A and B are shown apart, each in its own frame.
Chain A
């Protein structure tokens, strides 16, 4: 049995001499941003409209939070799956992806903050 080989970040940064594609990482980053923003958008929508809140009530004891979280997770995972398939072997513009993901993340955080959500609804 061969002893475990030491791994270094330098060695594994390449695969067969070719740099690893950053597409899978880009897909994970962007989809996480999408998931967070969807969470914030649905949270505000559920708070603003009783009809939407009712639609988002997937599990009665938990109320609209069940739909908000389930749909955000679903959209995050679907986005991740689609992007990961499309970008599996590609090198993507990671700076743009980061900027977009940070923007979506900031939007998600802001929309979950009750005083900001109330301000948007004119409360």
Chain B
């Protein structure tokens, strides 16, 4: 059982940073809806508030880690240009996708959309986390601030969902590979 370094980093980008970011936003959206309709204000200990702050900081950190690793580590591998004469495009995912009419749209729509919309999620979530940690207290007395927080959190969920979906599909049709092979289990070739 082996994995290449590039595949491992792509896995960390998608399955660790991206997927956990998506799950964390989903949890936050559920909590925002719950707190919007709760009758009595919550009476929480300062420890719970600290945990909530930690959750929000981790969420934002995951989002930024996902987009930064994606744009500055994985994307350069994805868009690498094959040298003249190379016919095996396995190490050049963008060109591999564009080489066939049946897969070209995964790049033209999928990657072109993913590479930009993904950035909206951490921007939105940074704002949401800031308001919930620094100014959360005005949410009950300022329902319009709560609305903005909820809308931006929902947009972040959608943006991260689009990026995650296309990321998974792109890696299915043109996986990122190459680099050192890491031997995990069994006999190496």
Q: Which residues of A contact B (CB under 8 A)?
A: 4-10, 12-14, 19-20, 22, 24-26, 28-29, 31-32, 35-36, 39-40, 43, 59, 61-63, 65-66, 68-69, 72-73, 76, 94-95, 97-98, 101-102, 105, 108-109, 112-115
Contact = CB atoms under 8 A, between A and B. Distances in A.
A9 B140 contact: yes
A31 B126 CA distance: 11
Given A13-B137, A102-B151, A95 B120 contact: no
A109 B120 contact: yes
Contacts of B72: 59, 61-62, 66
Main secondary structure of the interface of B (DSSP, over half): helix
A8 B117 contact: no
Contacts of A95: 144
A7 B46 contact: yes
Contact of B42 (A5, A9, A108): A9
Given A62-B72, A69-B71, A12 B127 contact: no
B119 A39 contact: yes
Interface residues of B, number: 46
Contacts of A63: 79
Nearest to A96: B144
Main secondary structure of the interface of A (DSSP, over half): helix
Nearest to B75: A62
Interface centre among B137, B139, B145 (most CB of A within 10 A): B137
Nearest to B144: A94
A61 B139 CA distance: 43
B78 to A, nearest CB: 10
B135 A24 contact: yes
A109 to B, nearest CB: 7
Contacts of B131: 25, 28-29
A9 B41 contact: yes
Q: Which 4 A-B pairs have the closest CB atoms?
A: A61-B76, A32-B127, A12-B137, A112-B116
